[in-house]
Amino acid sequence: MGFDIKKIRADFPILKRTVRGKPLVYLDSAATSQRPRQVIDALSSFYENHNANIHRGVHALAEEAEALVEESRAKTARFIGAPKPETIVFTSNTTHSINLVAQGWGRKNLKPGDEVLITELEHHSNLVPWQRITEETGALLRYVPIEEDGTLTVEAARKAFSPKTKMFAFTAMSNSLGTVLPVKELIDLAHANGALTLVDAAQWVPHLKTDVAAWGVDFLAFSPHKMLGPTGLGVLYGKFDLLDAMDPIMSGGGMIQEVHYDRSTYAPPPHRFEAGTPNIADTAAFGAAIDYLEAVGMDAIHAHEMELTQRALEILEPDEFVTVLGPQKIEDRGGVVSFNIDDLHPHDVGQVFDSEGVAVRVGHHCCQPLMRKLGIGGTARASFYLYNSLEDVEAFARGLSKVKEFFKVGVPVKVS
């Protein structure tokens, strides 16, 4: 397909709509992405042509539905460089994937005095599950500290390991500050210290090429809804032997091998972790999202996002009333820009942007401890994806001027 922004935008029906009388400028893809016609069609095609429950179905529709789900599993494995489809567990979101590991692995393997290491950058989804399982098992939760600009160094991580560290769970890219972490080095460091790794790749897989085999990562979690796919679906990649040694946290139909009145045995991964009727339609449609991203190319997508990020930073950074949070160097960033304007509340900022048709996210971005550490209540955040254009960034610049005008930022208050 190559990178043709006009053609890409034409594939996203929602980009044709207006918001508050202005063309929609969607700068909130870090929360959830928009979907191209191809994914929407795949979803309705599933319901129109193939809908049936899966698992041991012998009729044609059941076989077709199962084949579509397994095809998406195989595509997902290929997309992230996983060795085989059986290493891909479908969950309901990144949060579910991380909980599955925290409980399924943690309950079996953490003992009092053991340590789980995370970072100060984590989304609540990669923090609270570890708080809970360490409390439950008597293990200790420790944090790798970040630098002042929201970057995280391998050196800081090295100092945080101890012989008792059993798991290092960290975000590949911060959803709130845009920091991109040195993922491979951190994984190698954890392994050298005898710890397993879980990478929260919710903000990585949609935007950057992923190769779990080259990384050697033990577990990886991400959400299709942030990468053109449907909501209500999550992915957990795990090394097969680790998944095979893990207990399910949900049990019932679909995850068993044999059930007796007094005992049960479980199916091998991935089905052991997919109890009950799964999200069949969304899983089937997810395959179309992967096809779309692969046709455009992840390197081209990343290059495009960084061009937009660069332009947004050129607008924000010289403005004396704007504070840009996160890495100083663009090389340490992905396509997320968090900022505050003067002493304005981010919600007020977001509302004025919205009145201009520009959708930005505001608040703590599910990173309350990080906001507390930075001494702020929240930020306004613009995040970019393949369908955003340079015109979107110019609309963002106009929104910024509107905010300053509306709240009279920089206008001295007259005292009479």
Nearer to ligand PMP, 235 or 315 (CB): 235
197 binds ligand PMP (CB under 6 A): no
Q: Which of residues 385-404 bind ligand PMP (CB under 6 A)?
A: none
CB of 32 to ligand PMP, least distance (A): 8
CB of 310 to ligand PMP, least distance (A): 22
91 binds ligand PMP (CB under 6 A): no
In order of 12, 27, 368, the CA distances from 37 in angstroms are: 6, 19, 36
Residue in 366, 393, 400, 409 annotated catalytic: 366
223 binds ligand PMP (CB under 6 A): yes
Q: Which of 34, 87, 93, 134 binds ligand PMP (CB under 6 A)?
A: 93
Q: Which among 81-89, 101-109, 198-206, 394-402 is the span making contact with ligand PMP, rule CB under 6 A?
A: 198-206
In order of 176, 262, 308, 313, the CA distances from 394 in angstroms are: 22, 66, 10, 12
CB of 89 to ligand PMP, least distance (A): 14
119 binds ligand PMP (CB under 6 A): no
- What is the rounded distance in angstroms from the CA atom of residue 204 to the CA atom of residue 212? 12
Q: Output the 3-class SS for the chain.
A: CCCCHHHHHHCCHHHHCEECCEECEECECCCCCCCCHHHHHHHHHHHHHHCCCCCCCCCHHHHHHHHHHHHHHHHHHHHCCCCCHHHEEEECCHHHHHHHHHHHCHHHHCCCCCEEEEECCCCHHHCHHHHHHHHHHCCEEEEECCCCCCCCCHHHHHHHCCCCEEEEEEECECCCCCEECCHHHHHHHHHHCCCEEEEECCCCCCCCCCCHHHHCCCEEEECHHHCCCCCCCEEEEECHHHHHCCCCCCCCCCCEEEECCCCEEECCCCHHHCCCCCCHHHHHHHHHHHHHHHHHCHHHHHHHHHHHHHHHHHHHCCCCCEEEECCCCHHHECCEEEEEECCCCHHHHHHHHHHCCEECEEECCCCHHHHHHHCCCCEEEEECCCCCCHHHHHHHHHHHHHHHHHCCCCCCCCCC
28 binds ligand PMP (CB under 6 A): no
99 binds ligand PMP (CB under 6 A): no
- Pairing relation of β-strands 88-91 and 22-23? unpaired
120 binds ligand PMP (CB under 6 A): no
Number of residues engaging ligand PMP in binding (CB under 6 A) = 14
CB of 124 to ligand PMP, least distance (A): 8
Write the interaction track for ligand PMP spanning residues 347-386; mark x where CB under 6 A is met and - where it is not: -------------------x--------------------
The question of whether 366 is a catalytic residue gets the answer yes
Write the interaction track for ligand PMP spanning residues 124-163; mark x where CB under 6 A is met and - where it is not: -xx-------------------------------------
Q: Which of 94, 165, 279, 379 binds ligand PMP (CB under 6 A)?
A: 94
CB of 52 to ligand PMP, least distance (A): 27
Nearer to ligand PMP, 75 or 123 (CB): 123
Any bridge partners for residue 331, and if so which?
A: none
Q: Which among 63-71, 111-119, 123-131, 408-416 is the span making contact with ligand PMP, rule CB under 6 A?
A: 123-131
- Pairing relation of β-strands 88-91 and 234-238? antiparallel
Q: Which among 5-13, 122-130, 336-344, 352-360 is the span making contact with ligand PMP, rule CB under 6 A?
A: 122-130
Closest CA to 157 of 200, 114, 192, 205: 192
CB of 397 to ligand PMP, least distance (A): 25
Nearer to ligand PMP, 142 or 365 (CB): 365
Nearer to ligand PMP, 94 or 137 (CB): 94
175 binds ligand PMP (CB under 6 A): yes
Q: Which of 34, 72, 76, 171 binds ligand PMP (CB under 6 A)?
A: 171
| Residues that are catalytic | 366
Summarize as ranges the residues that interact with ligand PMP (CB under 6 A).
Answer: 31, 93-95, 123, 125-126, 171, 175, 200, 202-203, 223, 366
